[in-house]
Chain A
Amino acid sequence: MRRMFWLLVLLSAGLIQNARAESPTFSAFGGEAGLVRIMDDLMLTLLKDPRTEPFFRDTDQAHVKKMLVEQLCALLDGGCTYTGLNMQTAHEGMGVKREHFNALIENLQVAMDRNRVPFRAQNKLLAKLAPMHRDIVEKELPAEEALPDEI
């Protein structure tokens, strides 16, 4: 019984320790400072790429970068809280298509390469970002649904 107790104490200590330690993927990104550098690079390439430039040209770029850092830091268990809009609201009416979404991923990959994020760590982040296409990419309404209901 006593042995069991100490085992439990050790286990919980281990769990707490684990929770406090920076996630290895977050470290691979160079922590929050690393994310800031990556987002700086990303914004530059997004503004150079004709596929993505129209979406970022007239935005408050500093704010977008800050929100991205927060969001990615939260996704990577880096201990941040994302305070921005949800993805659906943030992209409503922008007409983002799959090709624009993919273009952003390509630019993010370039920015991560440039900041020496290991390939495996990059993919762990992309695995969390990819499903967001459901909220970001605009769905084309099927013809029947676009028509008003017949009375």
Chain B
Amino acid sequence: MIQFRLLAAVALLACLLIAPAGAQDSRSDKLILTGGLSQIEGAAGGGLVPWALIGGYGTEDQWGASAFYTHANSGDYGLNVGGVLVGINDRVELSLARQEFDTADVGAALGLGRGFAFQQTIFGIKVKLLGDAVLEQDSWMPQLALGVQHKRNDSGAVLRTLGARSDTGTDVYLSATKLYLAPSVLLNGTVRLTKANQLGLLGFGGDRRNAYQPQFEASAALLLKRNLAIGIEYRSKPDNLRFAREQDWFDGFITWAPSKNLALTLAYVRLGDVASIDDQRATYLSIQVGF
């Protein structure tokens, strides 16, 4: 836990130090916020949903990078996520994220021990296929990207007692994203093939179902200013485990970017039932630094 926070802090600090150097070198030439935020699994996106945008501020012949730390708390549970990503030539995005799901008192009720934490590492790659979300304003055609998220959960033995079939899983998703400048709206739709239970924090596949299923995810954001946006998101979820029902997620968010190198996001997320506890609602705070 402490180690995790330290790692996240070091990554953020490193980015803050590198970012001004990057800016001086004018290696941050995407327009503000057009590298997206950091979604909960580490890809460039909204809060919950990966977008087709390539993260970081690098344009076609540049590299960009960003790091983020996200904390969500529902009262019953806590979730900490930290990660980094590199955007290469505005074409390929490589990301690495670490999630820590703190079960607090619920851990004791489930027989895992009070404060038991599920942890997983997520390796992501995303490739822009075609289209341009930002500049092609005379066309409705969105930017399309194909992504993979490979997840490795640390708690294999525990996951199997809960009914999960595996402690590793790989999601594949296709995202379509478009900024419609005239109405100042950004829309995203994502289809994901996954077996992950609660992102993979409760393992992959289960005793109820153990097959890849398509899930649908969407984001809509309204730009209020160049550096201020509000939005809503939806993410459907599989329901593979007998011991606990899993439900679709919704969120409402507000993002403020005081500079191109810093974005702060506050969200309210409806998680539904999580690991046997009903109707979880969480506040979500995320800080992203990037160049």
B59 touching A50, Cβ below 8 Å: no
Tell me the minimal C-beta distance from B226 to chain A in angstroms: 6
- Tell me the complex Cα distance, A106–B62, Å: 18
B108 close to A (CB within 8 Å)? no
Q: Could you say which residues of chain A place their CB within 8 Å of the CB of B225?
A: 119
Query: Does A20 reach chain B (CB closer than 8 Å)?
Result: no
Q: A51-B26, A102-B59 are in contact. Are A120 and B184 (CB under 8 A)?
A: yes
Binds B, one of A40-48, A59-67, A69-77, A127-135: A127-135
Chain A residues, Cβ within 8 Å of B182: 123-124, 127
- Indicate if the CB atoms of B226 and A103 lie closer than 8 Å: no
Q: Are A127 and B181 in contact (CB under 8 A)?
A: yes
Task: Name the residue among A50, A99, A106 with the largest chain B CB count within 10 angstroms.
Answer: A99
Known: A97-B59, A123-B182. A131 touches B223 (CB 8 A): no
0/1 interface trace, chain A 21-56, chain B, CB 8 Å (1 if under): 000000000000000000000000000001100000
In this assembly, does A115 line the interface, its C-beta being within 8 Å of a C-beta of chain B? no
Q: Which of A86-131 contact B (CB under 8 A)?
A: 97-99, 101-103, 105-106, 109, 119-120, 123-124, 126-128, 130-131
Min CB distance B228 to A, Å, is 9
Interface on chain B toward A: helix, strand, loop, or mixed SS? Answer: loop
Chain A residue with Cβ nearest B90:
A98
Whole-angstrom distance between the Cβ of A46 and the nearest chain B Cβ: 14
Q: A127: which of B26, B29, B137, B226 is its contact (CB, 8 Å)?
A: B137
Residue from A99, A106, A109, A131 in contact with B135 in the complex, judged by beta carbons closer than 8 Å: A131
User: Does B30 sit within 8 A of A, measured CB to CB?
Assistant: yes
Q: In this assembly, does B31 line the interface, its C-beta being within 8 Å of a C-beta of chain A?
A: yes
Across the interface, which residues of A come within 8 angstroms of B62, CB to CB? 99
How many residue pairs link A and B with beta carbons under 8 A? The number is 56
Contact B136 A131 (CB under 8 A): yes
- Measured between alpha carbons, how far is A21 from B36 in the docked complex, in Å? 39
Q: Contact check, B226 vs A130: say whether CB atoms are below 8 A apart.
A: no
Q: Please, how many angstroms separate the alpha-carbon atoms of A130 and B60 in the complex?
A: 16
Complex Cα distance, B228 from A119, in Å, reads: 11
Question: In the bound complex, how far is the Cα of B225 from the Cα of A128, in angstroms?
Answer: 18
Interface: B224 (CB within 8 A):
yes
Contact between A119 and B226 (Cβ–Cβ < 8 Å)?
Answer: yes
Within 8 A of A (CB), among B55-107: 59-62, 90
**Chain A contacts of B139 at CB under 8 A?**
131
Query: B134 in the interface, Cβ–Cβ < 8 Å?
Result: yes
What is the CA–CA distance of A11 and B283 in the complex, to the nearest angstrom?
53
Kindly provide the distance from the CB of B188 to the nearest chain A CB, expressed in whole angstroms: 18
Residues of chain B within 8 A (CB-CB) of A124 are 181-182
Among B32, B62, B181, the most chain A Cβ lie within 10 Å of the Cβ of: B181
- From A98, A119, A123, A128, give the contact of B29 (CB < 8 A): A98
**What residues of B have a CB within 8 angstroms of the CB of A105 in the complex?**
31
Closest to A100 in B: B29
Whether B29 and A131, one on each chain, are in contact in the complex, defined by CB atoms closer than 8 angstroms, is no
Is B224 in contact with A123, judged by CB distance below 8 angstroms?
no
- Check A133 against B181 for contact (C-beta < 8 Å): no
Taking a contact as CB atoms under 8 Å apart, the answer to whether A130 and B181 are in contact is yes
Using Cβ atoms and an 8 Å threshold, which residues of chain A touch B61? 97, 99
The distance from the CB of B291 to the nearest CB of chain A, in whole angstroms, is: 13
Within 8 A of A (CB), among B181-227: 181-182, 184, 223-226
Closest to B181 in A: A127
Q: Bound complex: CA of A104 vs CA of B90, how far in Å? A: 19
Contact A130 B135 (CB under 8 A): yes
Contacts from A to B (Cβ < 8 Å)? 50-51, 97-99, 101-103, 105-106, 109, 119-120, 123-124, 126-128, 130-131, 133
Given contacts A127-B137, A130-B181, list 18 more A-B pairs with CB under 8 A. Answer: A51-B26, A51-B29, A97-B60, A98-B60, A98-B90, A99-B59, A101-B135, A102-B29, A102-B59, A103-B29, A106-B31, A109-B226, A119-B223, A123-B181, A123-B184, A130-B134, A130-B136, A133-B135
> Could you give 13 example pairs across A and B, Cβ below 8 Å?
A50-B26, A51-B26, A97-B61, A98-B60, A99-B59, A102-B31, A123-B182, A123-B223, A124-B181, A124-B182, A126-B137, A128-B137, A130-B135
